[in-house]
Every structure is written in structure tokens, then in C-alpha cells.
Amino acid sequence: MIASLGIVEEAALVARLRAAGCVFAEEEAALLLAETAAAADPTALEHLAARRAAGEPLEHLLGWAEFRGRRVAVAPGVFVPRRRSGLLVDRAVAAARPGAVVVDLCCGSGALGAAVAAEVRGVELHAADVDAAAVACARRTVPPGARVHEGDLDDALPADLRGRVDVLLASPPYVPTAGVATMPPEARDHEPRPALDGGPDGLDVLRRIAARAPGWLAPAGTLLLECAAHQAGAAREAVAAAGLAASVGHDDEADATVVVGRREEPR
């Protein structure tokens, strides 16, 4: 606790955040206190607390999000990585051998690709996103030697990656257009619409990735795509239509679903 803030004031901050709908009010208050502890400006805490109570994502206020035990750079207007994407990372880690070529499309902050690179030795990591603010965050997040490209999906990737990508993973926007309005305000109002809106059924971007993936995958390469559980059947069909052996993985506890596509090795 900072010296100028007493127990009563701290309790008031927790109550304020809880009243604003923050489920983890105590934890958020502690993080805001830690963030402003060294600030010379005595109004710094009030400023952040007011913004959080108004619905701004805590991660945007802190400048980072926690994902798989490490901090990921996140700026205002950038998609905040979800814990459910841990299943996507688990599958990517299982599929990637040491030294594998890994591509993270729709990378946002770069959290997923960076996690794979941290857990698999020596991977060649490429990440790409169409949003300049996300690309800037990803370049702060990925390890030295990784490359982050700005552009629309695979249009951003170097041509010399064609046919040699061992793992291509993506958590594309998969909220149906009509469902964006029902999302929590901190996502709906503060995260970029293109990172949320996946078109009429939520699968427009996923289908584009699935159709283009075979041209990038190495023999026996793996495509991994996150979606909602109710979309799994249609997503699997899109992956199979691209000529990949398709399957679905689900984690009930995390409410996470991943569609897997594998390019068969030539005989």
C-alpha cells in the first residue's frame, strides 16, 4: 500500500470497482495501487480508478496483460489476450518441434506466438496483424529474433515461408456481427472492432485463413484455429474443404475450442 493511502481509502477503492462491475475488485485495486505507488502525481490513482470504473480494460490502464505467467504489452485499442487461448498454445507447443517455423496470424499483442516461442526451444517465429497498434505491442512482446509483420492475414508474410511453416496458429475474430453489441463494454467499446467481428456467423476470417493455409504449411504441418464451441462443426468443414485432415479439440474448464488441420505427408 502506498504511504498516502490508508485502509479506509483502499477499501473505498475496492468498493468503487466492485460497484462498477469489476468481479475481481480486490485484485484490480492492488494492481492499480502498485501501478501508481511511485507516481509523483497524487491524482494518478484517481485518474486510473475513474477510467476503470468507466469501463476501460484494466490491461489497457496497466499497459500489460498476464498470459501464461508472463507479461504481454497491451496498449489502448489493442485486443486483450484471453486465457482460453491457452488451449491453442498447448496444441501449438505439442505440434512444434525444436527449431520449428511457427506463424501466429491475427497476432494482436503477440501473446500466443511469444508463449509458443518461450515453451519450444529455437522456434523461428513470425507474427502478423493488420492493426498498427497491435503490431507495435507484438514487437515489444515477442522474443529477440522473432519477426512481426503488418498486413492483412498472410499477405504480410515473407514469400520464402511458403511450404515450410510447421505450425500456423490463429485466434481470429469469431464473434458474429450481431453478437458484438452484447459483449461486455470493456471489449465492445475499447477493443478494435476488426479483432472481434467475424462476420454474419463469426467465421469469415477463419474461413479465409483455412483456405490459404495449405500453401504455407510444410509437409505434415499443422493449422490451429480458435473458435466458439457452437462453431466447431462449420469451422471443421472449412478446414477439411481446404484439403487438410480436420479434427476438433475442446477444453470444458476453459470453455475453449480449437480446430486442427494437418497437411498429410506425401507418399
Q: How far apart are CA 197 and CA 178, in angstroms?
A: 9
Query: What pairing do the DSSP bridges indicate for beta strands 217-227 and 101-105?
Result: unpaired
**DSSP tag of 106:** S
- Bridge partner list, 169: 104, 224
Superfamily for domain range 83-262: Vaccinia Virus protein VP39 (3.40.50.150)
User: Phi, psi (5° rounding) for residue 117?
Assistant: -65, -30
CA distance readout (Å), 241 to 74, 132, 172, 234, 236: 35, 32, 18, 10, 9
Torsion of CA 149, 155, 159, 163, to 10 degrees: 110
* pLDDT value for 186: 86
Identify how many contiguous H helices and E strands the chain contains and give both numbers: 10, 9
* pLDDT value for 55: 84
pLDDT in tens, the chain (267 residues): 444 455 547 788 889 888 888 888 898 888 888 888 766 676 888 888 889 988 889 999 999 999 999 999 999 999 999 999 999 999 999 999 999 999 999 999 999 999 999 999 999 999 999 999 999 999 999 999 999 999 999 999 999 999 999 999 999 999 999 999 999 888 999 999 999 999 999 999 999 999 999 999 999 999 999 999 999 999 999 999 999 999 999 999 999 999 999 998 666
